[in-house]
Amino acid sequence: MNEQKIQDIVATVLAQLGETNVAASDITKVVNAVTPAAGGYVPQVSAESLPDLGDIQFKKWNGIQNAVDKKVVEDLMSQTDARVGTGRTGPRPRTTALLRFLADHSRSKDTVIKNVESSWLQERNLMEVQSCASDKDEYLTRPDLGRKLNDAGKALIQSNCKKAPQVQVVLSDGLSLDAVTVNHDEILPPLLNGLKNAGLDVGTPFFLRYGRVKAQDEIGMLLNAEVNLLLIGERPGLGQSESLSCYAIYKPTSETVESDRTVISNIHAGGTPPVEAAAVIVDLVKNMLEKKASGIKLKR
């Protein structure tokens, strides 16, 4: 927002309060830089915009003052993304640490609530199928509805998807929009190519909106697929909203339980890179087809 817009908003509000002839004044913005002063630290001001709390300098910000050995803290921070070295002011967190926490929490909430745009799916030639959940609110409050396909979704699958493939791949938003949109281009195309290069018969990939893991059982039974792969957004953590999981199951039935699934989780740039995960999943599929099992049974 530029300075003129801010001045216009201020003038409008003051006019509604009955103030007239309000002269424009300079706008001062506070930035993160601080300098020592008598009695403590004071903020410096600048005409520049406020800093972006998503920058790496804030993610790796060392808030511990007067550490006995600063390098020990920095070494610890370099080895983990956990919130260490944030410091404190008395019993309270430092301002920068608190703002980072609030920003990360907001980001996590956003990725759960937002929806994948249909136009984004069309650009990638992904057919869209929906669970029995009618919208995101119902999906979050009624997990059972996300485990079943609606009638329109069943009809689309039966009329548009290849029957009885060796491998069926489904992409779903789950609990994270970011997990789908950020990782798609680096995992789905390499995964499909890897499966085909391995000589496997791959079904028609599609997108399941408002899906839960259990929905892959119904999809597998509808298509009579041997191995069913569901790439689904994980529940986001603070500051990490892009994590994807792959749930793999061999010939699911109505009696399938969760221990029948094999899971590869934490797929994102800061965990298992998507391209690497695609290669791991291809090897997993070949193993499942060879042993005709998944989950605990695959380990026996």
Q: What does the alpha-carbon distance between residue 214 and residue 77 come to, in Å, rounded to a whole number?
A: 38
- pLDDT confidence of residue 39: 47
What is the mean predicted confidence (pLDDT) over 147-171? Answer: 97
| Nearest CA among 218, 229, 215 for reference residue 264 | 229
Average pLDDT of the chain is 87
Number of other residues whose CB lies within 10 A of the CB of residue 20: 6
- pTM score over 0.95: no
Q: Which helix (H) or strand (E) holds 296?
A: helix 296-299
Helix (H) or strand (E) holding 276: helix 274-291
Contacts of 112 (CB under 8 A, 6+ apart): 140, 175, 176, 177, 235, 236
pLDDT in tens, 207-258: 999 999 999 999 999 999 999 999 999 988 877 789 999 999 999 999 999 9
The answer to which of 19-33, 52-66, 202-216, 261-275 has the lowest mean pLDDT is 19-33
CA nearest neighbour of 286 among 296, 297, 276, 294: 294
Q: Which residues are annotated as a binding site for adenosylcob(III)alamin?
A: 213, 234
Report the pLDDT averaged over residues 162-177. 96
Structural domains present in the chain:
1-51 (no CATH), 115-299 (3.40.50.11240)
Please state the residue numbers annotated as binding site. Answer: 213, 234
